[in-house]
Amino acid sequence: MRALLYGTGLRISEACALRWRDMTRRQSGGIATVFGKGGKTRHVQVSPSLWKEIAAVRSDVGPDAPVIPGHDGGLLHERAVDRVVKRAAKRAGLPPDVSAHWLRHAFASHQLDAGQPVHWVQAQLGHSSLATTTRYSHASADAAGADLLA
């Protein structure tokens, strides 16, 4: 889940709701069809390395199964994801304010720092306002910290 959040910039709720039917393999990675905030649907790019990692954990499940299932095989709860991220951050020696949402910020900051066009980052994040996305260019998440959690 941490790799999915950091590798795509999905909101926690979007990642928890993601099912295999929402995932489409492409020649280079894949596409996640996400049903986001405000009832908007968007298509989020999944890198080849992340696609490979996600596909490797898929068991013999149908299209309605969650991409990242909970212990009972059902959907994960957002609070559980945040607890897992916070525990991993603590083990990695990261500040206590690191959260699952922090991984979304880290994704955006690192993409902008790497030279990705701001409109691409905006589309990945599902922001309706460019101003919201440009705020991420000022919030530099620690790359090493994000890598430790991914």
Q: Specify whether 79 is catalytic.
A: no
- In the set 2, 6, 86, 104, the catalytic residue is 104
Q: Specify whether 11 is catalytic.
A: yes
Q: Specify whether 90 is catalytic.
A: no
Q: Specify whether 2 is catalytic.
A: no
- In the set 2, 86, 110, 127, the catalytic residue is 127
Counting runs of H as helices and runs of E as strands, what totals does the chain give?
8, 3
- In the set 2, 11, 86, 110, the catalytic residue is 11
Q: Specify whether 119 is catalytic.
A: no
Q: Specify whether 42 is catalytic.
A: no
Burial class (CB in 10 A: 0-12, 13-18, 19+), 141: buried
DSSP 38-93: GG-EEEEEE-HHHHHHHHHT--S--TTSBSSB-TTSSBPPHHHHHHHHHHHHHHTT
Q: Which residues are catalytically annotated?
A: 11, 37, 101, 104, 127, 136
